[in-house]
Amino acid sequence: MNRTAQHPKNLEEPMTTPELPASAYRITSHEILALLSFNSGNEIDLSRKVLNLADLPDDSDLVRAGISTLNVRGSVRRDGEEIALQGDAEIIARILASGHTWYQVARVGQDQSALPTYVVESVGAKAALLLQPLSEYICVPLREDAELLEFVGQVVDGTVADAEKVGGGLVVSQKWVLDAEPVVANLKVEQGKPTLLAALPLADDGQLTVRELEGSPSAAVTAALSGQN
């Protein structure tokens, strides 16, 4: 696995993660744009929206740069004028092209914001994408039998623990499903502990309903994201 470069301390901090498995794959945002350009459809549009790439054209210089770097990696093959993906790039492209359910967990605080972790379920595959400084993602394939909400709950607990260490902040969790409105569940951490949950239903002023946190942070968030609150 490639070593992560040392970045200036004023950049956003990546989320604290356990030791990564050998299957983890590092990929940049412009390489993801290149992977997305090989397919089209509603799932592609959803992937671009979740990863904040929707406003970038799929024929941009970034896409061409992504294809070039994938070629240097040996992740594309050429057959005349045709270009095809291979190896890990082909697997990730298949996940992004058929991702129908996405989750995001991030921490927002007064000190620094933690870069988000994304979790995606697609046809036949599941993966986590951990955003790092300088628009790099670490893609970690998950087992086929992995319970995504359980995994999301673990990420929420880890993010809450990070917020507790710095005295407070907001843990933002979102869920996107194809052809549905996104669902949001936010936790407020005050004086070193989670205290409030903001989630559906909407209040009279059109904002999320804020209530005292009951139970564990992960249980409250996953229940809200699954519509069980």
pLDDT digits (tens, 9 = 90+) for 46-100: 999 999 988 776 667 888 888 899 989 889 888 777 888 988 899 999 999 999 9
Q: How far is CA 12 from the centre of its chain?
A: 15
Residue ranges covered by each domain of the chain = 25-225
Closest CA to 118 of 63, 212, 127: 127
* DSSP 8-state secondary structure symbol assigned to residue 215: S
pLDDT > 50? residue 16: no
Residue 177 has what pLDDT? 96
Per-residue pLDDT at 8? 31
Q: What is the pLDDT of residues 158-178, one digit of tens each?
A: 999 999 988 889 999 999 999
Of the candidates 88, 69, 103, the one whose C-alpha atom is nearest the C-alpha of residue 1 is 88
Instruction: Name residues whose C-beta falls within 8 Å of residue 56's C-beta, 6 or more positions apart in sequence.
Output: 33, 48, 62
